[in-house]
Amino acid sequence: MLVRVEEAQPASSGVVRVHSSLGTVAVLWRGAAEVVGREHHVEWTVDEDIVWTVNAWPSPSAAPALREEGDRIVFRGQLSIFEDGCAALDVGGTSILFDLAAPPPPESGAGGAWVEVRVARDRVSLWPCAL
């Protein structure tokens, strides 16, 4: 995903404001500080499991999105479920990997469905990557 990275206050916190075509959020930046203020292709890392009906559920909208709700980051995308207990959320062409916790998504209807996943801001990191 191509994003524009801006410094957030306080600068020493490591948190940046990220602007993309899907929305704007503040997350932890794992790249070099001197590259803040530019555009980068990035990889999202989320260190929180999907817990169906707790932090993930079907979306009323079939369009990718990225937004903040209080201290949570909301990702909206299409969910793919794998046999090994993992899932990938396709958010506007970018895959974000998740582990699945109990209760898992329903076997019928969740795979390929549009869902929203809400995770704590401090569990989301952004890494610059070269394409």
Distances (CA, A) of 4 to 36, 37, 114, 116: 8, 7, 26, 23
pLDDT value of residue 55: 96
Predicted pLDDT at 24: 96
Tell me how far apart the alpha carbons of residues 119 and 34 are, in angstroms, rounded to a whole number.
28
State the CB neighbour count (10 A cutoff) for residue 48. Answer: 17
pLDDT for the residue numbered 12: 66
User: Is residue 36 very low, low, confident or very high in pLDDT (cuts 50, 70, 90)?
Assistant: confident
Length of the chain: 131
Q: Which has the closest alpha carbon to 119: 66, 82, 80?
A: 66
Q: By three-state DSSP, how is residue 50 classified?
A: strand
Residue 109 has pLDDT above 60, yes or no: no
